[in-house]
DNA sequence: GGGGTATTACCCAGAAGTTA
DNA sequence: TAACTTCTGGGTAATACCCC
């Protein structure tokens, strides 16, 4: 899912390929791979090396990348961070949800996160931790897979059927031989969400981590979001997630929707 | 000197702008 | 909106550079 898919038929006259490719270069940088050379960027984006060379040069001139001469690599600059911060600062749901999320995190002794989809992943846009309990290492800006996490599956379950089918087409391609197992998990999640409003992931994304997820369609029109509440498996048993944390998460989502101007 | 990687030059397709 | 023109973007091949 990249530049080519975004311009799927190659006939969209409004689509500026050069801009898309420049942004694709910026996307190649991740929290775990913060410094990349032109060759590595070319490999990750599928772009030709000379193209990458020109794009990194331009992005460096514009101040979005810094060239590390000693290493022969590039890294994102605070100018790129400012773009992300502007996006975060304008997400009203973050401000509205934070107090509810903290309340649940403190009650559960766990982490509560708010995420939104980006291609085949979800990005944490808000995150609250309990003062007590064992915390997960994820933080604001963390990326988790859409197909194998409670948060991601809750979001998939809340999508319209055409949108879900479209996304699952890409998930299928990305998962390869794991697809039957992933598909079964998603189908189970869709049924769970229809029945009780939340879905579970019991060690399916990371061993020993259990979580519950629920989606939220922002009534202010800002899109589809999802929440999760996760903790180590010894702390969050299936029984506790199903009888206590899950219903509380659903209730929290309803409160957020009301505060955003919904029902 | 050889291998790997980055950059440059050149050329063509098609993106973008203009006009009717 | 369509037709036309301009010129930019990006791929290929060649070259430069760096490291061992």
Decide: CB of A70 under 7 A of nucleic strand B.
no
pTM for the predicted model, two decimal places: 0.81
CA dist., res. A141 & res. A119, Å (int): 14
* Residues with pLDDT less than 70, chain A: 1-17, 69-71, 133-137, 262-263
Q: Which of A25, A1, A4 is nearest to A15 (CA)?
A: A4
Task: Give the nucleotide nearest to A16 (CA→C1').
Answer: B15
Query: What is the per-residue pLDDT for A79?
Result: 83
Query: What is the per-residue pLDDT for A188?
Result: 95
CA dist., res. A247 & res. A215, Å (int): 13
Decide: CB of A50 under 7 A of nucleic strand C.
yes
Residues 206-245 of A with CB under 7 A from strand B: none
Query: What is the per-residue pLDDT for A48?
Result: 75
- Sorted by where each starts, the structural domains of chain A and their CATH numbers stand as 3-83 (1.10.10.10), 91-259 (3.30.450.40)
């Amino acid at each position: 899912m990249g530049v080519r898919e975004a311009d799927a038929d190659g006939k969209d006259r409004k689509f500026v390929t050069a801009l898309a490719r420049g942004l694709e270069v910026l996307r190649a940088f991740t929290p775990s791979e913060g410094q990349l050379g032109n060759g590595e960027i070319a490999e990750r984006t599928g772009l030709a090396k000379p193209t990458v060379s020109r794009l990194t040069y331009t992005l460096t001139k514009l101040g979005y990348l810094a060239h590390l001469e000693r290493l022969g690599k590039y890294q994102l600059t605070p100018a790129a961070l400012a773009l992300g911060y502007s996006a975060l600062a304008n997400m009203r749901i973050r401000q509205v949800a934070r107090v509810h999320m903290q309340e649940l995190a403190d009650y559960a002794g766990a982490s509560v996160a708010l995420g939104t989809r980006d291609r085949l992943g979800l990005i944490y846009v808000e995150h609250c931790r309990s003062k007590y309990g064992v915390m997960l290492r994820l933080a604001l800006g963390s990326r988790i897979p859409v197909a194998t996490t409670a948060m991601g599956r809750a979001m998939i379950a809340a999508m319209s059927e055409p949108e879900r089918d479209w996304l699952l087409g890409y998930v299928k391609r990305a998962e390869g031989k794991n697809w039957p197992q992933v598909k079964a998990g998603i189908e189970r999640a869709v049924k769970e969400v229809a029945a009780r409003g939340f879905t579970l992931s019991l060690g399916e994304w990371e061993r020993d981590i259990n979580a519950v997820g629920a989606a939220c369609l922002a009534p202010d029109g800002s899109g589809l979001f999802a929440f999760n509440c996760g903790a180590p498996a010894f702390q969050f048993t299936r029984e506790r997630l199903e009888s206590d944390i899950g219903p509380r998460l659903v209730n929290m989502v309803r409160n957020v929707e009301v505060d955003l101007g919904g029902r």
